[in-house]
Amino acid sequence: MKRALSLYAAAVYLFLHLPLAVLAVFSFNSSRFTVWEGFSLRWYEALFRDPHLAEAALNSLIIAFTATAAATVIGTLCAYGLWKQKTGILPGFIKSSLYLSLVTPEIVMGVSLLAFYQWVFRFLDVQLGMHTVVLAHVMFSIAYLVVVALARLRTLDPSLEEAALDLGATEWVAFRKVTLPQLMPGVAAAALLAFTISIDDYVITSLVAGVDSETLPMVIYAMARRGGSPLVNAVSTLIVVILGVMIVASERLQGHS
Amino acid sequence: MDAVLELRKLSKSYANHQVAVSGVSLTIQQGEFFSLVGPSGCGKTTTLRLIAGFEEPTDGDVLLKGVSLRGLPPYARNVSTVFQNYALFPHMTVRENIEFGLRRKTQMRAAERQKRVADALEMVQLTGKESRRPAQLSGGERQRVALARSLVLEPDVLLLDEPLSALDPNLRKQVRSELKSLQRRVGITFLFITHDQEEALSLSDRIGVMNQGRLEQVGTPQDVYLRPRTRFVADFLGTVNWINGVGVRPEATRISYHPPGEGERAVPAVIESSLFLGNCLHVKTRLITGEPVVAQVSRLNGSYGCGETVHVWWHPQDEIICPQ
């Protein structure tokens, strides 16, 4: 029985990761076709010399950093507010609408954002670009941040903040010196998660991006569409490795909290 | 003696019209050990929270050294709270916990602050543990850190919210006597909240008994125990046998086979059980009218068998007489 279970687990694991393994293996193939001809780093070399990919990678990083930073601040404060305001109709409404935004299909969110931007652009002289992508990423990241921060806050003893006030701290100092340090591991983990989601988002990004804001997933998608260049394998493998490290870090942080 | 804390018709009710505290007036003297006792939900903790400033009263006022605290946030009030669960900051060391208030409330130099922290640690016998975190301390040590953290600020009144209830029973009695001697040493006014009447009786200079948001009686431990003004106060502070409208405490209730002397009050009763408690006997009897009467009597006066008919008697001056 135990044996069968391990076998089953191995099969599931293989099913999940075999495509990634194939991708990774062929990223080191010296041939451009899916026939193994020998180990080579030529695609990784080409990758770092491709200006188009470099620009897209830079865009992705700028978007992910900006959106994550903004969403972390907004989301944490929002969770703090919801935690403080224990009763009332509004907090309940906000909490359920957060879960709604977590389960909204990306394509729906992207299309609705696009419609919203186009409506706003009738009144303002702006175009689609980095800012619209950043805003979209902030929007879908906030929900993750709030949910994680709120879960962490619920484990905190409310009398800690009262004790801080009692000992002479203002509300702001009590938040900064007592509540925030205990919230940090959870918030950092959620921020890492938001960062990875932002880096690999394609559907929403491709809908709200402008000509100057092509991201890495968009470029990869276009390249894969044109017929698999091994460059795609290399860049995808890199992304998987980097995101994998971040996910492990995020889990470590949550484990500590 | 000067009044340090005064409550004037203090009231607190909530949006759902639930009344937590109702018209509580009370004056506490400088250096006094005052206890507020009552069953859970009687409003004693809310009263404390109103004094600390965590909640605003719906009516009435709190005066500290004659100055109204109305509208002042907790950090602007010179009172300090020892919380039921101590509320020590888990991410800070013992030293950082004790320094927290000094850094906020005073502008003292580092050297002076170090000295104050060292004094506070010595006062609660925690010298040498300043680098530990709360999780590395025992329950009793945590309680002492909480005390030191508040006392180092030299508040006008120290508010203690059931600080002994989180300790195990063996430790509780020891900490109780330490608390009393600490209060005498520092001379700071203590307002102590508890639902444990024994704690209140043994520690306090005066006791206020609360019931359903009201203060039923204020007095010395002897006053409230021996001369309760209401049946609630009498029953809350210990067992009372109610016989023909008057109350008699078990330790004032005597039992004998022969009728007592002139001037004593006596009723016939039947022994139901007799428990040997080591230092005394706990005897349960039943009157002819069917009412139970318990007596705590000396084991030196002999023992009693079940079913025996005896005289239950007491001195008239031991009677508790209060309106129904």
Residue A153 maps to which CATH number? Answer: 1.10.3720.10
For chain B, list residues with pLDDT below 50. Answer: none
Q: Is residue A26, in this structure, part of any structural domain at all?
A: no
3-state secondary structure of A32: coil
Put simply, whether A180 touches B (Cβ < 8 Å) is no
Nearest chain A CA: its distance from B190 CA (Å): 16
Which chain B residues are Cβ-neighbours of A178 within 8 angstroms? 89
Candidates B311, B252, B320; CA nearest to B287 is B311
Q: What local confidence, expressed as pLDDT, does residue A254 receive?
A: 67
Report the Cα–Cα distance between both ends of chain B, in Å, rounded. Answer: 35
Q: Is A162 close to B100, i.e. CB distance below 8 A?
A: no
What angle separates helix A42-49 from helix A230-256, to the nearest 10 degrees?
80
Which chain B residues are Cβ-neighbours of A182 within 8 angstroms? 90-91
Number of other CB atoms surrounding residue A147 within 10 Å: 18
Please give the model's pTM, rounded to 2 decimal places: 0.81
Q: Is residue A210, in this structure, part of any structural domain at all?
A: yes
Q: Is residue A203, in this structure, part of any structural domain at all?
A: yes
Q: Is residue A253, in this structure, part of any structural domain at all?
A: no
Put simply, whether A249 touches B (Cβ < 8 Å) is no
Put simply, whether A157 touches B (Cβ < 8 Å) is yes
Q: Indicate the number of domains in chain A.
A: 1
Report the Cα–Cα distance between both ends of chain A, in Å, rounded. Answer: 36
Q: What local confidence, expressed as pLDDT, does residue A228 receive?
A: 66
Q: Is residue A94, in this structure, part of any structural domain at all?
A: yes
Containing H/E element for B206? Answer: strand B206-211
DSSP category for residue B252: G
For chain A, list residues with pLDDT below 70. Answer: 228, 254-257
State the sign of the Cα–Cα–Cα–Cα dihedral A132, A136, A137, A143.
Answer: positive
Q: What local confidence, expressed as pLDDT, does residue B324 receive?
A: 57
Q: Is residue A218, in this structure, part of any structural domain at all?
A: yes
Cα atoms found within 13 Å of the Cα of residue B19, Cβ hemisphere only: 11
Number of other CB atoms surrounding residue B77 within 10 Å: 21
Q: What local confidence, expressed as pLDDT, does residue B225 receive?
A: 95
> What residue in A sits closest to B73 (Cα-Cα)?
A165
**A237-255: burial string, b at 16+ Cβ within 10 Å, e else:** bbbeeebeeeeeebeebbe
From the list A157, A168, A171, the residue facing B104 with the nearest CB is A168
Q: Is residue A62, in this structure, part of any structural domain at all?
A: yes
Q: Is residue A235, in this structure, part of any structural domain at all?
A: no
Domain that holds residue A183: 54-225
Q: What local confidence, expressed as pLDDT, does residue A102 receive?
A: 84
Contact predicate B234/B322, CB 8 Å: yes
> What residue in A sits closest to B81 (Cα-Cα)?
A166
Radius of gyration of chain A (CA): 22
Write the CB contacts of B85 (distance below 8 Å, at least 6 apart in sequence): A157, A159, B166
Letter for the amino acid at B91? Answer: H
Which chain A residues are Cβ-neighbours of B90 within 8 angstroms? 160, 182
3-state secondary structure of A136: helix
Nearest chain B CA: its distance from A164 CA (Å): 8
